[in-house]
């Protein structure tokens, strides 16, 4: 059982001619996430998840930008609502749109973005009662031309028949460089921080061993995939 199709979590989604001219940041993190996937896992049915992205224009020209939202294998009952505005927005030009079931769907209003200007995309996800997972892709568009994009992957709390009942041991735990698994053959692993952000996604396992040397000290959730289902465990990293 796959958490999500590997084709949907490609690190580079689309090759844009002008992608180097724009940065996309997520929340307060200044790192550029253009063309990548932001992950949120184990969401409960009553969750209302709010997140935001900033588009930064480094093109040297003023750009008039809309947002095109594309839903990829998203459960039919899930809802999302978008806000699109300059940042800052002293003249209240931004528009917060009600949920729209159209797919794809594009904002009616655009943001005029000067060179080095910033626009803010806010997204709320709700009515997540239906178990499953899905990907929302956001294209930043100038007329019909895509400037850049980012994906958001959401996964609901797993139903009982999706959970692996195998007795899987993760060791050593705490660890600082690498971990091993026993009790089942692990086919892939996903590691999430306490904010629900995936810091290591769709990792293929070699000989039931996984390097974690790139992770900072802290507590993480690791989701392990086997041929019989998936299982979630706590992982402690101590360097």
Q: pLDDT higher for 23 or 165?
A: 23
> Is the domain of 29 the same as that of 112?
yes
Tokens standing for residue 68 = 């095109």
In a domain, 30, yes or no: yes
If you average pLDDT over every residue of the chain, what do you get?
Answer: 85
> Is the domain of 42 the same as that of 11?
yes
Q: Does 4 score more than 50 pLDDT?
A: no
pLDDT of residue 30: 92
> Is the domain of 68 the same as that of 134?
yes
pLDDT digits 0-9 by tens, 44-53: 888 899 999 9
**Closest alpha carbon to 70 in 117, 8, 23, 156:** 8
> Is the domain of 171 the same as that of 151?
no
Domain boundary among 156, 187, 202: 156
- Please give the model's pTM, rounded to 2 decimal places: 0.66
Q: Does 29 score more than 80 pLDDT?
A: yes
Q: pLDDT higher for 86 or 239?
A: 86
> Is the domain of 134 the same as that of 57?
yes
Residues 6 or more apart whose Cβ sits within 8 Å of residue 132: 75, 155, 156
In which band, very low, low, confident or very high, does the pLDDT at 15 lie, cut at 50, 70 and 90? very low
pLDDT digits 0-9 by tens, 83-135: 999 999 999 999 999 999 999 999 999 999 999 999 999 999 999 988 878 88
Are 235 and 223 in contact by the 8 Å Cβ rule? The answer is: no
Phi-psi region of 9 (alpha: psi -120 to 50; beta: other; left: phi over 0): alpha
pLDDT digits 0-9 by tens, 220-229: 888 888 887 7
Q: Does 9 score more than 50 pLDDT?
A: no
Phi-psi region of 132 (alpha: psi -120 to 50; beta: other; left: phi over 0): left
Q: Does 14 score more than 80 pLDDT?
A: no
Mean local confidence (pLDDT), 52-68: 97
In which band, very low, low, confident or very high, does the pLDDT at 158 lie, cut at 50, 70 and 90? low
Q: What is the CATH number of the domain that holds 147?
A: 2.60.40.10
Q: What's the domain range around 178?
A: 163-237
pLDDT of residue 226: 83
> Is the domain of 119 the same as that of 20?
yes
> Is the domain of 220 the same as that of 147?
no
């Amino acid at each position: 059982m796959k958490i999500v199709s590997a084709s949907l979590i490609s690190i580079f989604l689309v090759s844009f001619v002008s992608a180097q001219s724009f940065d996309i940041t997520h929340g307060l993190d200044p790192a550029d996430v253009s063309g990548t996937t932001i992950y949120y896992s184990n969401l409960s049915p009553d969750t209302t998840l709010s997140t935001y992205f900033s588009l930064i224009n480094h093109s040297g020209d003023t750009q008039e930008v809309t947002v095109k939202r594309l839903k990829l294998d998203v459960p039919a009952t899930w809802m999302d609502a978008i806000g699109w505005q300059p940042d800052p927005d002293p003249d209240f030009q931004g528009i917060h749109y009600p949920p729209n079931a159209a797919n794809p769907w594009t904002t009616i209003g655009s943001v005029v973005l000067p060179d080095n200007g910033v626009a803010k995309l806010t997204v709320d996800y709700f009515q997540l009662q239906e178990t499953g997972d899905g990907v929302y892709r956001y294209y930043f568009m100038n007329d019909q031309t895509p400037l850049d994009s980012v994906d958001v992957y959401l996964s609901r709390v797993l139903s009982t028949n999706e959970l692996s009942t195998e007795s899987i041991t993760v060791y050593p735990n705490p660890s600082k460089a690498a971990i091993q698994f026993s009790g089942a053959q692990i086919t892939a692993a996903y590691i999430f921080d306490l904010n629900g952000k995936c810091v290591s996604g769709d990792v293929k396992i070699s000989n039931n061993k996984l390097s974690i040397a790139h992770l900072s000290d802290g507590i993480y959730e690791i989701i392990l995939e086997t041929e019989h289902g998936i299982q979630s465990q706590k992982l402690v990293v101590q360097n």
